[in-house]
């Protein structure tokens, strides 16, 4: 099974993904590590990515997911996947590739962003991400207000009921 943790910046994709993968003994990959240099420079400058910018990145992540499926590896992948089109391109089918939407209020997201540093994401990008967000109608939806450990437990409990 592949779990794709989705949501805007500040929702905890990397933190939750790392903890979740460790607890499940699965591999973790952060989608941010696969952005082409052009994308990184835009985001560092506070310029939102557009669909054209995201396409090569989504193709790379789709290939990572397909490799894990072919090799029968379990994988937790952190990837914003803000739009339905992006989730479709990744191959999220809610069966072998399941999305987990980490949902929080704009205020909570901003509060968390203000408390962290990211190697290239400008803190100014949250508004554009929330504007682009198409909340998923399927997959798991997890409230991000509890502690990371409780969020991980909630995800595990939900995936155990569907596997």
pTM for the full predicted model: 0.92
**pLDDT of res. 108:** 94
The whole-angstrom separation of Cα 113 and Cα 116 is 5
Number of structural domains, the chain? 1
Using CA atoms in the order 151, 16, 64, 45, what is the torsion angle rounded to 10 degrees?
A: 130
Q: Are 82 and 133 in contact (CB under 8 A)?
A: yes
Domain that holds residue 25: 2-162
| The dihedral formed by the CA atoms of 24, 28, 31 and 32, expressed in degrees to the nearest 10 | 120
pLDDT tens-digit readout, 35-77: 999 988 887 888 888 889 999 999 999 999 999 999 999 999 9
- Domain CATH for 62: 3.40.50.300
Q: Dig out the tokens for 9 from the structure.
A: 């910046």
Tens of pLDDT, residue by residue over 122-143, are 556 778 889 999 999 999 999 9
- Say which DSSP state 103 is in: E
Question: Mind listing the pLDDT tens digit for each residue in 69-124?
Answer: 999 999 999 999 999 999 999 999 999 999 999 999 999 998 888 876 655 455 56
């Amino acid at each position: 099974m592949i779990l794709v943790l989705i949501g805007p910046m500040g929702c905890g994709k990397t933190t939750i993904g790392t903890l979740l993968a460790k607890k499940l003994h699965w591999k973790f990959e952060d989608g941010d590590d696969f952005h082409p240099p052009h994308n990184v420079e835009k985001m560092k400058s506070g310029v939102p990515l557009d669909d054209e910018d995201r396409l090569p990145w989504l193709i790379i992540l789709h290939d990572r997911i397909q490799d894990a499926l072919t090799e029968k590896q379990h994988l937790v992948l952190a990837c914003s996947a803000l739009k339905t089109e992006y989730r479709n391109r990744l191959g999220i089918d809610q069966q072998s590739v399941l999305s987990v939407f980490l949902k929080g209020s704009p205020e909570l997201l901003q509060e968390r962003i203000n408390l962290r540093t990211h190697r290239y994401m400008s803190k100014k990008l949250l508004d554009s991400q929330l504007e682009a967000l198409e909340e998923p109608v399927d997959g798991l939806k997890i409230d991000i207000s509890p502690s990371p450990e409780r969020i991980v437990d909630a995800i595990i409990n939900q995936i155990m009921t569907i596997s």
